[in-house]
């Protein structure tokens, strides 16, 4: 698992390899979310307190209860949420 550090000092954990354009879009969405320009939707089923940003049909950014960011494909996203 690779980790990227943002300008704000927070880290993004990459749970799968993503194309560079998709990774760039995910990082822009994360920064927009931190600046309160974009709002993440809450996950109300299994993972209480988690939020998600939909980057594309295949890519998700999960924000856990400690405000850590996890970037992954939708297949890994489903398993990640079920584990919580």
Both tokens of 21, joined, read 């354009």
Do residues 63 and 30 touch, judged by C-beta distance below 8 A?
Answer: no
pLDDT bracket for residue 3 (50, 70, 90): very high
Domain ranges within the chain, ordered by starting residue: 2-83
**For 37-84, what is each residue's pLDDT tens digit?**
999 999 887 667 899 999 999 999 999 888 899 999 999 998 888 887
Q: What is the pTM of this model?
A: 0.89
The DSSP element (H or E) to which 69 belongs, if any, is: strand 69-73
Q: Look at residue 8 in the predicted model and tell me its pLDDT.
A: 83
Tell me how far apart the alpha carbons of residues 1 and 57 are, in angstroms, rounded to a whole number: 22
Do residues 2 and 14 touch, judged by C-beta distance below 8 A?
Answer: yes
For domain 2-83, the CATH class is: alpha beta
């Amino acid at each position: 698992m690779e980790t990227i550090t943002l300008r704000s000092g927070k880290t993004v954990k990459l749970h799968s390899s993503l194309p560079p354009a998709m990774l760039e879009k995910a990082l822009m969405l994360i920064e927009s979310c931190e600046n309160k320009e974009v709002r993440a939707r809450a996950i109300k089923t299994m993972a209480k307190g988690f939020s998600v940003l939909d980057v594309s049909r295949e890519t998700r950014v999960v924000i856990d209860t400690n405000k850590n960011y996890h970037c992954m494909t939708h297949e890994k996203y489903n398993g990640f949420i079920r584990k919580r």
